[in-house]
Structure 1
């Protein structure tokens, strides 16, 4: 509907570690008490915009402390909030809203097997997702933002986690649907590990013929490699800036010692 080809992804914009003053205003009220996030990212796919914030690893709270200690692994907690101006109906959604609960559970189940939780025993990792604007593909955009925020926080993972939607128009697969396309077409939401081509998440809310399913998964795995390359380029650029800053500080210190 927006002029893209069938297998053409929407525009993808990635911002790692946004400015602290701007991210503080995006955090939900409950997340403000967690302090400063250890990692954050904002992903814009088409007209859908999602920010993700990671807190921890840190000491688990009272609710999750017992389970974290008993399992000798890090506990993962996900909270999703939707800005009132970011939805079509422009209304406030509580954390008990059905869509918000489903998104939070899907994100948590996606990253639980991917994060190396055994490296952070008796600790807790909190992920706070803020949906700023919706135009289809909210859950995939949120998963992509969480992947980058976790990597920005230095959390060890087995692979990038890339996500997208794939719809079906007749016998043609359509990638990365917007809201109008999601409303009219049957579609699948997939989270993909590009290296192993495994799918930690696959959701289907509408009926779909089984003969078309394999083709949809195949094109989605190929598209996941494209998203992974964009994520990797953003992470490498961010790491390069950090290395330049560290080398600059080290050079200044060496000059000061030589002057002394």
Structure 2
């Protein structure tokens, strides 16, 4: 006899455990958080899942053996803070699951980063999970996109990612942890500009027709998420431009620094 569901995935009103409708995303918060020595960094919060990513590079490889003559070598490491999951201690880089997440992130971004522009260099991405309530991989992918943009690394497009679950015949977007534990789900990452899918990972067998429907829902959700991320990037860019303008103003004595004059000329 099949066991009953641990949670009520959809109530009679068509609402989920946290009150969302099937295609409704969790609340999203994005910040660019400068970190010492990092070339780019960003924190992404989707619901109660929080991930911060730091990017170092492009820079000289830490080992010459890691240098690739015609493109950059992409290195991804993932860690989980001990407080992010109750009852779980600090998980280190050697953890098998974290290694798999890091490898998935690397494989997702390698075709999109214009690595040929940075031959014989290394781009290091450090992912730290600070809070976990479902969707760790999609949140990490989204935070990585923002951190790479902050670092000025050239990419062909944003990569945005979401999870898509299936309750009976109803797809659900952006799963929380209780939903992930109870229903089959797919993680989708796509290039919203073209709709091209760069990642589709599913750990449970489902009918191919349902898979195609879930994939389509995920791609559409990724487009919505890109609009929010793009808005935050534009806001960040506007703030940086304003700071440059202020730095370029003449000093109180009426003179102008050489560095400020150079900024105005460009």
TM-score when normalising by structure 2: 0.87
The question of whether the paired residues in 1 share the 8 Å contact of 2:188 and 2:219 is answered with no
Higher helix share: 1
Contact 1:140 1:189 in 2 (8 A): yes
CA RMSD of aligned residues (A): 1.6
Structure 2 distance, partners of 1:82, 1:37, is 19
Q: Which residue of 2 aligns with 1:61?
A: 62
Structure 2: gaps spanning 5 or more residues: 1-16, 257-266
* 1:3 partnered with 2:19: yes
Q: How far apart are residue 89 of structure 1 and its match?
A: 2.7
- 1:105-254 correspondence to structure 2 within 5 Å: 105-253=103-251
Structure-2 separation of matches of 1:194 and 1:50? 21
Distance in 1 separating the partners of 2:173 and 2:203 = 16
Q: CA deviation at 1:90?
A: 2.2
Residue 27 of structure 1 corresponds to which residue in structure 2?
none
Kept in 1, the 8 Å contact 2:22–2:171? The answer is yes
Structure 1 stretches lacking a partner, 5+ long:
25-35
Select the structure of larger CA radius of gyration.
2
**Greater RCO, 1 or 2 (C-alpha within 8 Å, sep 6+):** 1
Once residues 211 and 122 of structure 1 are traced to their aligned partners in structure 2, the CA distance between those partners, rounded to angstroms, is 44
**Do the aligned partners of 2:108 and 2:198 also contact (CA within 8 Å) in 1?**
yes
**How far apart are residue 67 of structure 1 and its match?**
4.4
Task: String of CA shifts for 1:131-166, please: whole Å, max 9, x gaps.
Answer: 001000000000000000000000000000000100
Q: Secondary structure at the match of 1:121?
A: coil
2:49 matched residue in structure 1: 48
The CA deviation string for residues 146-194 of structure 1, in whole angstroms up to 9 with x for no partner, is: 0000000000000000001000001110000011000000000111110
Runs of 4+ in 1 over 2 A off after TM superposition: 65-70, 252-258
Q: Structure 1: how far apart are the matches of 2:235 and 2:27? A: 19
